Chain A
Amino acid sequence: NAGVTQTPKFQVLKTGQSMTLQCAQDMNHEYMSWYRQDPGMGLRLIHYSVGAGITDQGEVPNGYNVSRSTTEDFPLRLLSAAPSQTSVYFCASRLQKPGLAGVRGYNEQFFGPGTRLTVL
């Protein structure tokens, strides 16, 4: 059981380049999401998905696309990289339905190790 995996761990892009950050989970979680983390700003939600074929925008979706063709995979695409997209990106997954109080772990979000992206 690998949990949530992300690739690559590090990436440097030039302005205008495109790339895809990969995210996969093997816990059969319905809910998956992408966050970016910038100093002093906490984690901000980019896009999320409540199941295969269903995606929606989060707080900061501009410049990013997602798709969810399978339960396991949730790639994040940068269409035309900009320096403002320099950040640490985390993918996360959890069971979709809110858990019962006292059932530890039912609502727990599991995060991947992150991708550190620099756009020059």
Chain B
Amino acid sequence: RKEVEQDPGPFNVPEGATVAFNCTYSNSASQSFFWYRQDCRKEPKLLMSVYSSGNEDGRFTAQLNRASQYISLLIRDSKLSDSATYLCVVFEGSSASKIIFGSGTRLSIRP
């Protein structure tokens, strides 16, 4: 089993739709969780951190479920510019020195 698993997609949804994807992790001692966004042929960039109590950043909501070991990302009112690959990232280790990336979920928003 991979340490961090994501549905590769692609998710193809119309503009304005709500879309959600999950990411599961295998190490129950994992400490920190993030969603990164990667545009085609570009470097990954931080989208948002994921906090235990859940957090929102505009149209984006991230949730953490430690009991079931998954994190989720919800995008409301999707825009064409949201088309990208979304990477789930998990930090492990006493000083978070081990960083594990999921293979990414591709999202395509159509007009």
> Interface residues, chain A, CB within 8 Å of chain B?
31, 33, 35, 40-45, 48, 50, 90, 96-98, 101-102, 104-105, 107-109, 111-114
Contact = CB atoms under 8 A, between A and B. Distances in A.
A50 B43 CA distance: 21
Chain A at the B interface: mostly helix, strand, loop or mixed? loop
B43 A114 contact: yes
B38 to A, nearest CB: 9
A97 B103 CA distance: 25
Given A42-B102, A102-B51, A31 B46 contact: no
A90 B43 contact: yes
B32 A107 contact: yes
A106 B104 CA distance: 23
Contacts of B81: none
B51 A96 contact: no
Closest 6 CB pairs of A and B: A42-B103, A111-B43, A43-B101, A98-B96, A42-B101, A108-B46
A40 B44 contact: no
Interface in B2-30: 8
Contact of A98 (B31, B41, B43, B45): B31
B95 A98 contact: yes
A50 B69 CA distance: 28
B43 A112 contact: yes
A68 to B, nearest CB: 14
Contacts of A112: 43
